[in-house]
């Protein structure tokens, strides 16, 4: 991101983003890399609310605070209630919906 010519500000450190949690609180990691192009297209569709870097520059965007961030294909979640589904590497869930059919039954 430092080398890219972007239409928004760069952060000096993660503390400027004002979001995030310690790694040990993350219970679920979903690999959505195959859907990253669709995610970026969806961000571009909201150009009045989000600035997205040109496609050839990379997967970068900025919200209303104009601080540049990278869009990733991995999504992280925290289980708020109940028991986690099957655990994968790192002792984390890999599927947000595992076990729901059984719970609804």
Give the CA radius of gyration of the chain: 17
The residue written with tokens 């959505």 in the block is 32
At 58-91, the pLDDT tens digits run 788 888 777 777 888 999 999 988 888 889 888 9
Predicted confidence (pLDDT) at residue 1 exceeds the cutoff of 80:
no
pLDDT digits (tens, 9 = 90+) for 6-39: 666 676 766 776 677 888 999 999 999 999 999 8
Pull the structure tokens for residue 13.
């450190």
pLDDT averaged over every residue in the chain: 81
Q: Please report the pLDDT score of residue 31 as a whole number.
A: 93
pLDDT at position 38 is 92
* Residue that has been written with the tokens 């999504």 in this structure: 75
Q: Is the C-alpha dihedral spanning 82, 101, 90, 35 positive or negative?
A: negative
- Quick check: 93 and 34 in contact, CB under 8 A? no
- What's 45's DSSP letter? T
| Alpha carbon distance 100, 103 (integer Å) | 5
pLDDT of residue 104: 52
pLDDT at 57: 76
């Amino acid at each position: 991101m430092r080398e890219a010519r972007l239409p928004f500000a760069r952060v000096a450190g993660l503390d400027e983003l004002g979001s995030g949690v310690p790694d040990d609180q993350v219970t679920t990691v979903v690999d959505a890399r195959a859907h990253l192009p669709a995610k970026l297209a969806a961000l571009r569709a909201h150009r009045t609310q989000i600035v997205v870097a040109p496609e050839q520059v990379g997967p970068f965007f900025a919200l209303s605070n104009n601080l540049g961030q990278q869009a990733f294909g991995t999504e992280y979640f925290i289980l708020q209630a109940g028991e986690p589904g099957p655990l994968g590497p790192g002792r984390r869930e890999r599927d947000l919906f595992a076990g729901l059919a059984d719970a609804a039954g």
